[in-house]
């Protein structure tokens, strides 16, 4: 049988196959009022379709741990009980399809308070439900972006507590996996990289100091999350800068620390923290980063990045480059990619009885 369709176990949780859905923002929640950040019909239909299509694990979009942690005012959140109730409908349906429900907990940091991409994606102010972004240092992401406020030590501790509260609510909402978002130039990634972290206190300067916030968040999430269920961490393996940024060597070093703090798998992406960089985007271009972490540490990894063809995904696993693959845009194009891949490679995935005639 193809490796893609073998179950995979993390702690006590067995995921039915190695085809997982990467988190992709939908920018489709209410922006303000009591239903701000609550998943609605769009989110249900979007995630349910991929579960019906046989995907083994589905990660929600970046889900903010606080209102100011959203990338845009239209992002999902999990900072209150109304949002918890909205997610329960989704996790219940995914479980009925045999799909594992996972949630990505996030804080956008200096890249917060921006508009929907199809409206330009530029910064928005209070008149458009925006707010002042927060960051490790008062350095904007790019020209034209809002100047973020530098977090005080007290505020850092508050954000760590917000991640802990979000993890607790995620379990109440029925999720079986949490992923801490440390990639793509959002708050945790901003602390990790010297490109965005100019602090001179205990959270800046040395590798140990820049990693402090990430590990505190992981500890806080792990403390709230059941011991028998896994915690993932998404990392940008490199800033794609020639100097002065986060590197693959740093990622390998951090992977060992994350494992020691209770992380069960590293979701390996790249980029997002520096504007204007050139990234050689080709099929599977990020897979070597995942492969290196897997080869040089004991932390399992998932690979992501222009993985589109079943035989390509199978080769990544059979070559030992990753333990699972995460598909993004390809699952937007084809919600039943997993079932199609099973047909091509001779595997099996869950098929609802309503769809038996199509097998």
Backbone angles phi, psi at 302, to 5 degrees: -120, 140
Token pair belonging to 266 = 């590293």
Task: Give pLDDT tens digits for 247-284.
Answer: 999 999 999 999 999 999 999 999 999 999 999 999 99
Backbone angles phi, psi at 215, to 5 degrees: -70, -35
pLDDT at 67 over 90: yes
Rounded to whole angstroms, how far apart are CA atoms 353 and 249? 48
Name the CATH superfamily, with its identifier, for domain 3-358.
Aldolase class I (3.20.20.70)
pLDDT of 357 reads: 87
8 A C-beta contact, residue 213 and residue 201:
no
Tally the C-alpha atoms within 13 A of residue 62's C-alpha that lie toward its C-beta: 27
Report the candidate in 99, 20, 23, 93 with the shortest Cα–Cα distance to residue 64.
23
% of the chain surpassing 70 pLDDT:
100
Rounded to whole angstroms, how far apart are CA atoms 74 and 68? 12
- In the annotation, is 186 catalytic? yes
Torsion of CA 257, 203, 65, 303, to 10 degrees: -40
Token pair belonging to 147 = 């100047």
Task: Give pLDDT tens digits for 85-120.
Answer: 999 999 999 999 999 999 999 999 999 999 999 999
DSSP assignment string, 151-186? PPHHHHHHHHHHHHHHHHHHHHTT-SEEEEEE-TTS
Token pair belonging to 121 = 């994606």
pLDDT of 359 reads: 75
pLDDT of 60 reads: 97
Q: How far is CA 238 from CA 19, 77, 182, 289, in A?
A: 24, 27, 12, 9
8 A C-beta contact, residue 160 and residue 216:
yes
Q: Which of 27, 186, 285, 355 is catalytic?
A: 186
% of the chain surpassing 90 pLDDT:
97
Residues 294, 20, 185, 269, CA torsion sign: positive
pLDDT of 1 reads: 72
């Amino acid at each position: 049988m193809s490796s893609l369709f073998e179950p995979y176990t993390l702690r006590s949780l067995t995921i039915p196959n190695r085809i997982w859905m990467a988190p992709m923002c939908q920018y489709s929640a209410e922006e303000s009022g009591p239903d701000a950040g609550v998943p609605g019909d769009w989110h249900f239909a979007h995630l349910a379709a991929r579960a019906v299509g046989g995907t083994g694990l589905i990660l929600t979009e970046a889900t903010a741990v606080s209102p100011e942690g959203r990338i845009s005012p239209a992002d999902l959140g999990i900072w209150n009980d109304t949002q918890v109730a909205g997610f329960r409908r989704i996790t219940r349906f995914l479980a009925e399809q045999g799909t594992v429900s996972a949630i990505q907990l996030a804080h956008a940091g200096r890249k917060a308070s921006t508009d929907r991409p199809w409206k330009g994606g530029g910064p928005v102010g209070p008149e458009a439900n925006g707010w002042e972004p927060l960051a490790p240092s008062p350095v904007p992401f790019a020209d034209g972006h809002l100047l973020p406020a530098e977090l005080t030590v007290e505020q850092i501790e508050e954000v760590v507590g917000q991640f802990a509260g979000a993890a607790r609510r995620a379990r109440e909402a029925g999720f079986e996996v949490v992923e801490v978002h440390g990639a793509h130039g959002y708050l945790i990634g901003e602390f990790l990289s010297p490109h965005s972290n100019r602090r001179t206190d205990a959270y800046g300067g040395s590798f140990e100091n820049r990693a402090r916030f990430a590990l505190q968040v992981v500890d806080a999430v792990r403390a709230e999350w059941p011991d028998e269920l896994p915690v993932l961490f998404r990392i940008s393996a490199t800033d794609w800068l020639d100097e002065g940024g986060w590197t693959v060597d740093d990622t390998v070093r951090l992977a060992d620390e994350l494992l020691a703090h209770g992380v069960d798998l590293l979701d390996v992406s790249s980029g997002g923290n520096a504007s204007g960089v050139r990234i050689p985007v080709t099929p599977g271009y990020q897979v070597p980063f995942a492969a290196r972490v897997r080869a040089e540490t004991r932390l399992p990894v998932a690979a992501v990045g222009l993985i589109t063809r079943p035989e390509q995904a199978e080769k990544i696993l059979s070559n030992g480059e990753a333990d699972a693959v995460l598909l993004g845009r390809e699952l937007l194009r084809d919600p039943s990619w997993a079932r199609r891949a099973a047909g091509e490679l001779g595997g099996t995935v869950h098929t609802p009885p309503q769809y038996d005639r199509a097998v």
